[in-house]
Amino acid sequence: MGLISAIGDSVEENRISLQHGRSGIGDIQFYQTAHAGKLPSAEVKYSTEELNKKIFGRRNPTITRTSLLALHAAGEAIEDSGLTKEAIHSPDTALVGATTVGGMCLTDELYHDANAKGGGTPYLSSYDYASVTMAMQERFGISGEISTINTACSSSANSILYGARLIRHGFARRVIVGGAESLAKFTINGFNALNILSSKPCAPFDRDRSGLNLGEGAAFLVLEREEDLKGKKSYAILSGFGNKNDAYHPSSNSPEGLGPFLSMKEALESSGLNERDINYINAHGTGTENNDETESRAMIRLFEKVPPFSSTKSFTGHTLGAAGAVEAVYSILSLVHQELYPSLSFQNPIPETGLIPVLQFIKKPMQHIMSNSFGFGGNCSTLIFSKT
Amino acid sequence: MAYFHLPVCISPQNSFPEVDLYQIRESKNNLLEVMEPAYPGIPAAARRRMGKSVRMAVGAALPILEKFPQPDGIIIATANGGMEDCIKFLNQIVEYNEGLLTPANFVQSTSNAAASQIALVTKNHNYNITHVHRGLAFENALMDTMMLLKENKDAGYLLGSTDVISAYNYNIDRNAGCFRDELILNTHLFQSKAKGTIPGEGAFMVMMNNQKMGASAGLNSVKTIHSIDPLTILKTLEKFLSENFMPGEWPDLLLTGEDGDERLLPYIDIVESSMDKCVPVARFKHFCGDYCTASSFACWISMQIFETGTIPELLIKKRGATKPVRKILIYNNFRGAQHAFILVSAV
């Protein structure tokens, strides 16, 4: 596993921040936007130049911040996997990326190029979603199947389940899966125009929650076939997944959270587990009015007794296309270390649902963890991870 | 084998609602833009709100959804879907210096707008995904659907693609040197050797299931590869052929994504020359132009060839043995780095 977010540039650093309740949400320091200082966000604490140096040792004028975050996290994942160069380069190794902003974090350059205001910038082939995955393909020399998925905020949950299916059907023996996202004027202003950005650190599942904070980051995981493990270390089993559509509205969930309910239900069914087997839910929990209430309703409908749950977006902000993979890593850390990370900034439950998230770092024996990711366009996905 | 049913294609040629591949519509100002139908099935108010890529996708999907109202999933490929709205929103951001903006363009700018609109208008809660991997987005959608049909034998899936030429991706790609500088007609695309192609666009929708009965074609196999080395492409092709053909057996037609860009010729040449000399060769990008999901147009053309039993004259590059076309090998190449082989067969 590999991870870079506002709370650390490695899986281990992220874990330490989660354990100590250290949120990465604050004023924007690096990204140039009129909203810096007004809309708290969870920025990765390195400038793009510093990221370039960390990865390439020099400035690289055609690569975007989103791709740099992806390369950083995927590099850590590949190293952690212990796979040989030969295995990585083999046609049996697939790559599935996900992002919703791609290279469009370069607002000014894109404005210049898209409106043909003079000669092209060096970023002409770096704006689209695929550019992020292509940067990884080139850097790591991937020769197997490659896809990029964009289902808005559930993108990287889908990259994980799609990667698992590539293995199941023999299109790959191992798959690097995940997603990357960087702050962009595009998303900051988009979510702001929808009035769902909070001017305070987000308070998922709180009665008085006032919206989400955007975040950035990347997370990648290496999936392998069980038969190839042969005594190698592995963190967890992807034991089930669901992908459903809410089919209600382009930018909000149905009041009863039908899509979220169906997605969690499908994940449970595919894992062969009972609802009582789920020990914890890493909720989508964005901190918006709509998400937290509808997700709560869906959990109440599916579970006779809602298991402990929290939203780690109170640490990382909403990392959009990366969120599913970031939270998959957190879910797996919870399983490996048998510990739960809290939801921050929670004070009072939503009166209609009364659910209270995990509020403190605790140790707890657990076998199965569920992770939710819901996106615009009604795209709802759920993953279930189980202890090895 | 997975099967294609009720293919619908909205393209720069006469493909919807009536099909006529014996005439070619000429490009205008080096663009091959689609002939958009009237879309009687989409309510006017909804139609006005939709961007072109979503409108084309929904318009192409509706005739299929009339017959299969609740597919078990919606799998869409689009590399540039939503780009028009995306840049409209971006222009607002820059021109109003991040002031008060309206969110409509932002909401419609996401690539999953087509898949989610289709789900929304049909209240479809099933599997829903959008593949956006540039020149291989459609191949990924095909593979996804093949896997789904192995997972759920009795299911049926709506598979499709949509991509448009917007002023914006046109500007970006033109600056990147993807298009011909000189004024050229699509009918003359292959007559001069130069860098660049002409851009195109289109939407393709089809129902996929495991039912051979009534199908327009079968989907045998898909293989993609990223490489700029023609020899790697050759090796990939040889492996693909050995997996799908008996020794000495060949496809009945090779359909390539030759696009008039001389930089792609080394790849096209190596694929063509690795075929037996009796295999006829055809090409399709002078019909649809070059765009990320153009291989979906090649699949649609293949189904027309199976249905009529003839290869439209205007597509033929090299004649071969005159035998019925039962198996078509599609080779597409997107800008030199992304390659795909798709094998489809008559039922």
Cα separations (Å) of B207 from A137, A260, A379, B176? 32, 26, 21, 36
- Residue in B148, B115, B119 with CA at minimum distance from that of residue B132: B115
Residue at which a domain ends, from A228, A262, A278: A228
Q: Report whether pLDDT(A49) > 90.
A: yes
Per-residue pLDDT band at A62 (split at 50, 70, 90): confident
Does domain B217-345 correspond to CATH entry 3.40.47.10?
yes
Clarify whether residues A379 and A345 are in a common domain: yes
pLDDT score of A60: 83
Q: Report whether pLDDT(A230) > 90.
A: no
pLDDT score of B146: 98
Domain boundaries, chain B: 2-209, 217-345
Clarify whether residues A274 and A192 are in a common domain: no
Per-residue pLDDT band at A59 (split at 50, 70, 90): confident
Both tokens of B43, joined, read 């309510």
Q: Report whether pLDDT(B65) > 90.
A: yes
Task: Assess A169–B contact: CB distance below 8 Å, yes or no.
Answer: yes
Tell me the shortest Cα–Cα distance from A92 to chain B, in angstroms: 12
Q: What is the CATH number of the domain that holds A121?
A: 3.40.47.10
pTM as predicted? 0.98
> Closest partner residue to A124 among B100, B132, B172, by Cβ?
B172
> Closest partner residue to B98 among A34, A245, A379, by Cβ?
A34
> Closest partner residue to A130 among B103, B134, B151, by Cβ?
B134
Q: Do domains B2-209 and B217-345 have the same CATH topology?
A: yes
Alpha helices, H only, B154-264: 167-175, 230-244
Clarify whether residues A278 and A161 are in a common domain: no
Choose, out of A38, A112, A126, A151, the residue to mutate when testing the contact with B (most B CBs < 10 Å): A151
Q: Do B226 and A186 lie within an 8 Å CB cutoff?
A: no
Which domain covers residue A330, as residue numbers? Answer: 236-387
How far is A388 from B13, CA to CA, in rounded Å? 55
Clarify whether residues A186 and A257 are in a common domain: no
pLDDT per residue over B7-20, tens digit each? 999 999 999 999 99
Clarify whether residues A155 and A195 are in a common domain: yes
Element (H, E) at A65: helix A65-81
Q: Report whether pLDDT(B187) > 90.
A: yes
pLDDT per residue over B251-305, tens digit each? 999 999 999 999 999 999 999 999 999 999 999 999 999 999 999 999 999 999 9
Instruction: Taking residues B85-89, report their average pLDDT.
Output: 90
Q: Report whether pLDDT(B108) > 90.
A: no
pLDDT per residue over A281-290, tens digit each? 999 999 999 9
Pairing of strands A362-363, A339-340: antiparallel
Task: Assess A347–B contact: CB distance below 8 Å, yes or no.
Answer: no
Clarify whether residues A262 and A162 are in a common domain: no
Q: Report whether pLDDT(B84) > 90.
A: no
Both tokens of A355, joined, read 């659910």
Clarify whether residues A196 and A276 are in a common domain: no
Determine phi and psi for A179, rounding to 5 degrees: -160, 165
pLDDT per residue over A317-345, tens digit each? 999 999 999 999 999 999 999 999 999 99
Both tokens of A42, joined, read 């969870």
Task: Assess A374–B contact: CB distance below 8 Å, yes or no.
Answer: no
pLDDT per residue over A137-163, tens digit each? 999 999 999 999 999 999 999 999 999
> Closest partner residue to B116 among A124, A193, A379, by Cβ?
A379
Judging contacts by C-beta atoms under 8 Å, the chain A residues touching residue B171 are 113-116
pLDDT score of B40: 87
Q: Report whether pLDDT(A119) > 90.
A: no
Per-window interface: A 232-251 vs B, CB < 8 A: 243-251
Does domain B2-209 correspond to CATH entry 3.40.47.10?
yes
Q: Do A128 and B102 lie within an 8 Å CB cutoff?
A: no
Residue at which a domain ends, from A176, A193, A228: A228
Clarify whether residues A71 and A218 are in a common domain: yes
Per-residue pLDDT band at B321 (split at 50, 70, 90): confident
Judging contacts by C-beta atoms under 8 Å, the chain A residues touching residue B123 are 247
Instruction: Taking residues B194-220, report their average pLDDT.
Output: 98
Alpha helices, H only, chain B: 44-49, 52-67, 83-95, 104-108, 113-122, 137-151, 167-175, 230-244, 265-273, 285-288, 295-308
pLDDT per residue over A240-294, tens digit each? 999 999 999 999 999 999 999 999 999 999 999 999 999 999 999 999 999 999 9
Q: Do A186 and B93 lie within an 8 Å CB cutoff?
A: yes
**Mean pLDDT in chain B?**
96
Please say whether the beta carbons of A220 and A2 come within 8 A: yes
Number of domains in chain A: 2
Please say whether the beta carbons of B292 and B162 come within 8 A: no
Clarify whether residues A159 and A284 are in a common domain: no
Element (H, E) at A6: none
Residue at which a domain ends, from A212, A228, A244: A228
Clarify whether residues A206 and A99 are in a common domain: yes
Clarify whether residues A218 and A267 are in a common domain: no
Element (H, E) at B330: strand B327-334
**In three state form, how does the secondary structure of A143-205 look?**
CCCEEEECECECHHHHHHHHHHHHHHCCCCCEEEEEEEECCCHHHHHHHHHCCCECCCCCCCC
DSSP-assigned letters across all residues of A84-147: -HHHHHSTTEEEEEE-SSTTTT-HHHHHHHHTT-SS--TTTTSSSTHHHHHHHHHHHT--S-EE
**Mean pLDDT in chain A?**
97
Pairing of strands A217-224, A174-181: antiparallel
Clarify whether residues A42 and A72 are in a common domain: yes
